[in-house]
Amino acid sequence: MDIPKVFNKKNRILLAELTKTDFKLRYQGSVLGYLWALLRPLMMFAILYMVFAKLLKFGNDIPHYPVYLLCGTTMWSFFTECTSQGIQAIVVRGDLIRKISFPKYIVVVSATLTAVINMLINLVVVIIFALINGVEPSWTWLLVPLSLLELYILSLGISFLLGAINVRYRDITSIWDVIIQALFYAVPIIYPISMVASSSIVAAKVLLLNPIAQAIQDIRHNLITPETITTWNYVDNSFLQILPIILIIIVMILAALYFRKKSKFFAEEI
What pLDDT is attached to residue 242?
95
**Average pLDDT, integer, range 234-241:** 92
Q: Which of 234, 216, 236, 232 is nearest to 224 (CA)?
A: 216
- Would you say residue 74 has pLDDT above 60? yes
User: Do 188 and 207 meet the contact criterion of CB atoms below 8 Å apart?
Assistant: yes
Q: Give the pLDDT score at 259.
A: 95
d(Cα 135, Cα 221) in Å, to the nearest integer?
A: 12
Average pLDDT of 217-233?
A: 93
Q: Select the more confidently predicted residue: 17 or 26.
A: 17
Q: What is the pLDDT of residue 31?
A: 47
CA–CA distance, 133 with 10 (Å, rounded to integer): 45
pLDDT confidence of residue 33: 52
Q: How many CB atoms lie within 10 A of CB 178?
A: 9
DSSP letters of 103-129? -THHHHHHHHHHHHHHHHHHHHHHHHH
pLDDT of residue 3: 45
> What pLDDT does 39 receive?
67
Residue 20: per-residue pLDDT: 79
pLDDT at 32 over 80: no
Distance CA 200, CA 40 (A): 34
Calculate mean pLDDT across residues 96-105.
85
Residue 6 has pLDDT above 60, yes or no: no
Residue 17, CA atoms < 13 Å, CB-side half-sphere? 6
Percentage of residues in the chain having pLDDT higher than 70: 87
Q: How far is CA 69 from CA 43, 44, 214, in A?
A: 12, 10, 15
> What's the chain's average pLDDT?
86
Whether 7 shows a pLDDT value over 60: the answer reads no
- Please check the confidence at residue 9 and state whether its pLDDT lies above 70: yes
pLDDT of residue 80: 93
> Alpha-carbon Rg of the chain, whole angstroms?
19
Number of domains in the chain: 1
Q: What mean pLDDT is predicted for residues 62-91?
A: 90
Per-residue pLDDT, 125: 86
Q: What is the pLDDT of residue 5?
A: 53
DSSP3 helix / strand / coil % (the chain, rounded to 5)? 80, 0, 20
Residue 179 has pLDDT above 90, yes or no: yes
CA distances (Å), origin 18, targets 11, 90, 93: 10, 12, 10
Residue 228 has pLDDT above 50, yes or no: yes
Res. 155: pLDDT tops 80: yes
Residue 96 above 70 pLDDT? yes
Per the structure, the complete domain to which residue 196 belongs is given by 3-269
Residue 244 in this model has a pLDDT that exceeds 90: yes
| Overall average pLDDT of the 33-50 stretch | 68
pLDDT of residue 4: 45
